[in-house]
Structure 1
Amino acid sequence: MVIRTHKKLLITLLASASSLLVAQSSLAAPVVLQLDYEIPVQQNQVAFVPFAGDSVLSPIILNDLSRTELTVTNKNLPQQPRSSSELAGTLPVWQQLGIPYLVVGSTRTDRGKIVTNYEVIDVQSGQVLGGKQSLSSDKDAQSMRYAGHVIADKIYELITGTPGDFSGRIAYIEETGRGNNKVSRLKVMDADGENAKTITEVTGSIFSPAWSPDANRIAYAVQREKSYPVIYVQNVSGGAAHVITPYPGSNLSPSFSPDGSKILFSSSFEGSANIYETSSSGGTPRKLTNWPSSEVQPNYAPDGKSFVFVSDRAGFNKPQIYRYEFGSGRTTKVSNSGYATSPQFSSDGTQIAFLSGRSAAIMNSNGAVTANLGNTGIDEAPSFSPNGKRVVYASIQGGKGVLTIKSLNGGQSFGKSGQGIIRSPVWSANPK
């Protein structure tokens, strides 16, 4: 979103303010507004005033917003207001600063909860975008972190018109050791790379985690020594995982339907690998593909009317991405590159992240490549953030596994290293 300061309007407002000062010079109490010093015009789009009474939420919110295409500052501000009402006499000073948007707020304790009131102000007009916002949260660190991300989501949406992607979480696999000593951990972290927690740990391999639409469950495949991969579904908040594919074959790549009631997966329990659909609680699967080739890595389209998958029907070592339509059963080829695997839809269905050879890439729904993120050194594709503005992908840098969160529209990108090798990061939707 390109935001420009309207200098003509700014000059008019300043002139009017100066006239007001002259007209009221005879009053006993001086007007608070003063324009007799220079304020450096800034190129930032958002001025963020740390919330009054708070030391926890503000750093989280500022960090989140700073990772987007918005440029945000909390430095060299002329005032530390906690609400729009405190700007009544000083709005022209903020207008002279040259920053289009101002975020102010405060926190207080109410019956054991932390209540945060905040406002996003259009500095030129003095209007509060969307009115005063309020959020109540528990006092514990986990709840406070989540509240900070939710507030950042709302601030981003009020300014850009697009929901933020900070309250979604990222699941990934961390592998240490080799052979019979390999240990795999399924971990979940916040979208800012912090607050990582282990969901499950196995001696063996974990593959292809997938979030449920409500971000409460994760499906994933586990392969222990001398056994086939089996798909589990587990609640992120705790509890035992349950098996949904107790079949003697390679059961891999689960994908939840948009309503969370079904799961697509690939399996070789009837011979060559095909795509199946089953209830997310388990049950008899329905076979959807029946080609003599291998069909793997299904991923539901956001509208649930189709899914994409990978097939080698074009020839050995020539995998391509295809789309299957539930209504007609028709299958069409989507990808145009020589080697295309691991498709993942964006939340609006207009883009598909995939692996093009050894490079992470993005194509539109017609197969045209729109972004190439480069060779990651690992055979895995990126995963979109909830609003499609960022992606997360795994790579190897300096012999270490790294998670990279990359902006697709000019925002800040950053990486997080882990122990051993990192695989298969996938971004959840924002919890409802």
Structure 2
Amino acid sequence: MTPLNIHSAHRLSKLFLLTPLFLAPLMAAAAPLEIEVVVDVPKQQNQVAFVPFAGDTVMSPIISNDLGKTELKVTSENLPQQPRSSSELAGTLPVWQSIGIPYLVVGSSSTNRGKVTTEYEVIEVKSGRILAGKQSLTAKDNKESMRYAGHVIADKVYELITGTPGDFSGRIAYIEEELSGKNKVSRLKIMDADGENARTLAEVKGSIFSPAWSPDGKRIAYSVQRDQSYQVIYVQNVDGGGATALTPFSGSNLSPSFSPDGSKILFSSSFEGSADIYEISASGGQPKRLTSWPSSEVQPSYAPDGQSFVFVSDRAGFNKPQIYRYEFGSGRTTKLSNSGYATSPQFNSDGSQIAFLNGSSAAIMNSNGAITANLGNTGIDEAPSFSPNGKRVVYASKQGGKGIITIKSLNGGETFGKSGQGTIRSPVWSASPK
């Protein structure tokens, strides 16, 4: 008998061989009668069953919301029981297996002396196996720490299931602008990666440009222009302390980019004439000039390996900016982009893709310059920024007169937006603070 190809996750089947006694004489020389009995199990869209942690009301909604924004489909509804650990599944695992959800997340929290300890498990339902064993995290018993702990747990759960680190505990920096001309006010703000918990780091009467995170997520470099003065690049600690001027010299100093080890910063400046790319210690000092073409070179961004950087040049002609790569070892430059207008390049974490502005559309190309995704017109000519794991991007747009920060999944997860005051510009995603 030829075996049947049946997807066991969606249907169960059995074959029965029937040979009734009163038919035996007639069937002595006949082939056995085969009857297929099929029981259909509804196809389960949810991939993760999340049981809110016992003893917790703060972290569980954050974890569920974070995971639900990804390609994983998460549910906490209509579950057969509310276990707090794998040991409470004894004897009921077949019930969980019958509902067809591949993964189950359970846990509990306890408070002692101002600290909250959370233990949780990610269970592969089919086998009953606990992925990487029981996990534990301790946080201070306050809302800010608990919110961050929720994002960290979501990161770990996502990694245990997919093999890729999550991007929930990083933060997003952005610029918020109100009014215009001499009355213009700009604020540098940061928020959690779920669009919540926004706060202001700096506010100036004038303009703030191009924020950039340090690799450890603890510092931000950005450019400020007050009145009609030159743009000055500042470096500021995210969790306290004032901003320090990095470029106290003349010229338009813009587009800082931290090196992968955080020790240096690339930027563009016109203090020696036309705009060129310079490198300077992150603590200040004398900058080193890296480009000296007669054209303008701006918007540098380090490659993740630190061996090269991408930048924008108009050497191809006025209003035809293109993206180039500069190699530190040889000083060689190579043109990457092939569109009519390409600016604002930024690598993803492994250097395989570059987010950029393609004409008036947010787009992504591979490291050889071939466009792999066109995310559409943002309305304010803004390029996207990758999340730490490269699975999502963030970009600014304008809808109905309101500034919007859009977080878009690149692999089937949810796309959502967060509105702000006035115009939103230049959102950029940090790695998790270390």
In the TM superposition, residue 201 of structure 1 has moved relative to its aligned partner by 0.2
Q: Distance in 1 between matches of 2:140 and 2:62?
A: 16
Partner of 2:390: 388
Match of 2:59 among 45, 57, 60: 57
Larger radius of gyration: 2
Which amino acid letter does the alignment assign opposite residue 164 of structure 1?
Answer: G
- 8 Å CA contact 1:10–1:124 kept in 2: the answer is no
Q: Distance in 2 between matches of 1:252 and 1:125?
A: 55
In the TM superposition, residue 94 of structure 1 has moved relative to its aligned partner by 0.2
Q: Distance in 2 between matches of 1:410 and 1:77?
A: 25
Q: Distance in 2 between matches of 1:388 and 1:333?
A: 23
- 8 Å CA contact 2:219–2:237 kept in 1: the answer is yes
**SS of residue paired to 1:422:** strand
Q: Distance in 2 between matches of 1:220 and 1:240?
A: 13
Match of 1:344 among 343, 346, 371: 346
In the TM superposition, residue 238 of structure 1 has moved relative to its aligned partner by 1.2
Partner of 2:184: 182
Any gaps of 5 or more consecutive residues in structure 1?
13-37
Partner of 1:28: none
The equivalences for 1:29-428 within 5 A come to 42-428=44-430
Q: Distance in 1 between matches of 2:126 and 2:11?
A: 8
In the TM superposition, residue 88 of structure 1 has moved relative to its aligned partner by 1.2
- 8 Å CA contact 1:206–1:221 kept in 2: the answer is yes
- 8 Å CA contact 2:210–2:426 kept in 1: the answer is yes
- 8 Å CA contact 1:101–1:122 kept in 2: the answer is yes
In the TM superposition, residue 9 of structure 1 has moved relative to its aligned partner by 10
In the TM superposition, residue 10 of structure 1 has moved relative to its aligned partner by 7.3
- 8 Å CA contact 1:5–1:98 kept in 2: the answer is no
Which amino acid letter does the alignment assign opposite residue 233 of structure 1?
Answer: V
**SS of residue paired to 1:142:** helix
Which amino acid letter does the alignment assign opposite residue 95 of structure 2?
Answer: V
Q: Distance in 2 between matches of 1:11 and 1:303?
A: 53
- 8 Å CA contact 1:5–1:99 kept in 2: the answer is no
Q: Distance in 1 between matches of 2:162 and 2:13?
A: 26
In the TM superposition, residue 43 of structure 1 has moved relative to its aligned partner by 1.9
**SS of residue paired to 1:240:** coil
In the TM superposition, residue 431 of structure 1 has moved relative to its aligned partner by 1.9
In the TM superposition, residue 7 of structure 1 has moved relative to its aligned partner by 3.3
In the TM superposition, residue 246 of structure 1 has moved relative to its aligned partner by 1.1
Q: Distance in 1 between matches of 2:268 and 2:7?
A: 53
- 8 Å CA contact 1:343–1:355 kept in 2: the answer is yes
- 8 Å CA contact 1:70–1:411 kept in 2: the answer is yes
Deviations 1:20-44 (A, max 9, x none): xxxxxxxxxxxxxxxxxx9966321
**SS of residue paired to 2:411:** coil
Deviations 1:66-107 (A, max 9, x none): 000000000100000000011111000000000000000000
- 8 Å CA contact 1:10–1:95 kept in 2: the answer is no
Deviations 1:321-350 (A, max 9, x none): 000000000000011111000001101110
Counting aligned pairs with the same residue, the percent is 79
Q: Distance in 2 between matches of 1:220 and 1:7?
A: 52
**SS of residue paired to 1:204:** strand
Q: Distance in 1 between matches of 2:295 and 2:56?
A: 59
Deviations 1:355-377 (A, max 9, x none): 00000000000000000000001
Q: Distance in 2 between matches of 1:303 and 1:11?
A: 53
Deviations 1:228-271 (A, max 9, x none): 00000000011111011112110000000000000000000000
**SS of residue paired to 2:175:** strand
Q: Distance in 1 between matches of 2:383 and 2:269?
A: 21
- 8 Å CA contact 1:174–1:418 kept in 2: the answer is yes
C-alpha spacing 1:8/1:274, structure 2 compared with 1 (3 Å): closer
Question: How many correspondences in the alignment?
Answer: 404
Q: Distance in 2 between matches of 1:41 and 1:315?
A: 56
C-alpha spacing 1:39/1:58, structure 2 compared with 1 (3 Å): farther
**SS of residue paired to 1:7:** coil
- 8 Å CA contact 1:5–1:100 kept in 2: the answer is no
Q: Distance in 2 between matches of 1:41 and 1:361?
A: 35
Q: Distance in 2 between matches of 1:5 and 1:427?
A: 40
C-alpha spacing 1:299/1:207, structure 2 compared with 1 (3 Å): same
Q: Distance in 2 between matches of 1:215 and 1:286?
A: 25
**SS of residue paired to 1:255:** strand
* Alignment TM-score, normalising by the size of structure 2: 0.91
- 8 Å CA contact 2:11–2:41 kept in 1: the answer is no
Deviations 1:201-229 (A, max 9, x none): 00000000000000000000000002000
- 8 Å CA contact 1:10–1:96 kept in 2: the answer is no
Q: Distance in 1 between matches of 2:400 and 2:347?
A: 30
Any gaps of 5 or more consecutive residues in structure 2?
1-5, 15-39
- 8 Å CA contact 1:182–1:205 kept in 2: the answer is yes
In the TM superposition, residue 194 of structure 1 has moved relative to its aligned partner by 0.1
C-alpha spacing 1:5/1:277, structure 2 compared with 1 (3 Å): farther
